Amino acid sequence: MGEEPRLVRVLLEYDGTAYHGWQIQPNARTIQEVFESVLDRIHKGRTKATAAGRTDAGVHARGQVIHFETTLGMDALAWRRALNALLPDDVVVLGADFPPAGFHARKSAVSKTYSYTILNSSVPSAFLRDTAWLIPFPLDAGRMKEGARFLIGRHDFSSFRSSTCTARHPVRTLSRVDIGRAEDLVRVTVEGDGFLKQMVRSVVGTLVEVGRGAIPPESIASILEGRRRALAGPTAPARGLCLERVEYPEGYRYSRIEN
């Protein structure tokens, strides 16, 4: 045992298909529950883990960041190996380090990047069934790009949040909303300083409406101004969404440990 507790930070990826999101819930399997149960086994006692993003049920992550406190003297590589030896195959620690005092996985973050994958095909994919939204009708990625530009900047995103969202302040800043297409795959990438509940999925659902020609690209501006969820498009399914990256200020940036 070490003399003083210290913070451990891990970079985590997971397939969220079999989980009811990150946060612990009664009678439901969650990423936090699984991760903390492994920490409890290693520490032989209760250990709480805090995540940068509280992903919803069915949402995936390639770049989730988690911190927890420990008094064990293990180095970063030993932490990665010990956690991966006990975690299920659909939850993987990519690396670990020891951030400076004061670091908080969620509160210290300055931006998060999410991607959303759409399979724009009349034929389903056995391999993408849990990681992409199947859209069988044609989508015009150019129209979606036109609509996306209205989302850039600081806005009240009340029209793009869940009716159960409890955030007191709905204003967020998006620095990037990109639409990319490679054959049948359309990918929406969104970067911002924070996100409301189901905000990215609501944005994607609305951009799909633009892409299929149901609403004009410039209608995004009036949807934002209206500040009512009913004005926007449907909420895209959780399975296409992935937390890609979390950014921190200079002093808190992540140092990935290889090998």
Distance of alpha carbon 186 from the chain centroid: 18
Provide CB contacts within 8 A for 247, sequence distance 6+.
Answer: 109, 110, 111, 112, 113, 253
Q: How many CA atoms lie within 13 A of 254 on its CB side?
A: 27
Between CA 131 and CA 56 the distance in angstroms is 14
Between CA 178 and CA 176 the distance in angstroms is 6
Strands (E), 126-237: 133-134, 153-156, 171-182, 185-192
Provide CB contacts within 8 A for 224, sequence distance 6+.
Answer: 150, 151, 155, 156, 157, 159, 160
Between CA 64 and CA 39 the distance in angstroms is 17
178 given a catalytic annotation: no
* Secondary structure (3-state) at 26: coil
Distance of alpha carbon 42 from the chain centroid: 27
* Phi and psi, residue 154, nearest 5°: -95, 120
Q: Where are the alpha helices (DSSP H) in the chain?
A: 31-43, 76-86, 141-148, 199-211, 219-226
Q: Which of 15, 56, 178, 193 is catalytic?
A: 56
Residues acting as catalytic residues: 56
